[in-house]
Amino acid sequence: MRKPKVVPKDIDEYLAAVPEPARATLEKVRASVQSAAAEATEAISYGMPTFKYKGNLVAFAAFSKHCSFFPMSYAVIKEFQKELKPFDVVKGTIHFPLNNPLPAALVKKMVKARIGEQERRARE
């Protein structure tokens, strides 16, 4: 019988369970998102740290061999495809090394683009 996976209650609890160096890497990503989206709220969605603003905004997670950033928008990935060239982009997910966060400026630009998308959707 498999042990049931415990879903963290918040992002702090999620990060506390992530081993280094991934924890420090994700903390930097979190700080970048918070800086770009002060109005967003933090949550756990699908077991991952997620920021919400008029719906799911972005998410991130640690895996055994990489960290991932989920912009939750193919349009945003396409908009920043040149800046994302150094990273593996797989099915709407950006993979980056456990010990090297995405550049803060890039995260902030993607988050602001997502906020714009969410605001446009909310007006429609």
pLDDT digits (tens, 9 = 90+) for 79-105: 999 999 999 999 899 999 999 999 999
Alpha carbon of 40 to those of 34, 51, 63, 84: distances in Å?
Answer: 8, 6, 24, 24
Specify if 97 maps to a domain: yes
Full residue range of the structural domain in which residue 37 is found: 11-123
Specify if 92 maps to a domain: yes
Specify if 4 maps to a domain: no
Rounded-to-integer distance, Cα 19 and Cα 40, Å: 26
Specify if 5 maps to a domain: no
Query: How many whole angstroms from its chain centre is CA 104?
Result: 12
pLDDT digits (tens, 9 = 90+) for 24-67: 999 999 999 999 999 999 999 999 999 999 999 999 999 999 99
Looking at the 3D structure of the chain, how many domains does it have?
Answer: 1
Tokens 């605001």 sit on residue? 119
pLDDT, position 7: 85
CATH number at residue 94: 3.90.1150.200
| The model's pTM | 0.92
SS3 call for 96: strand
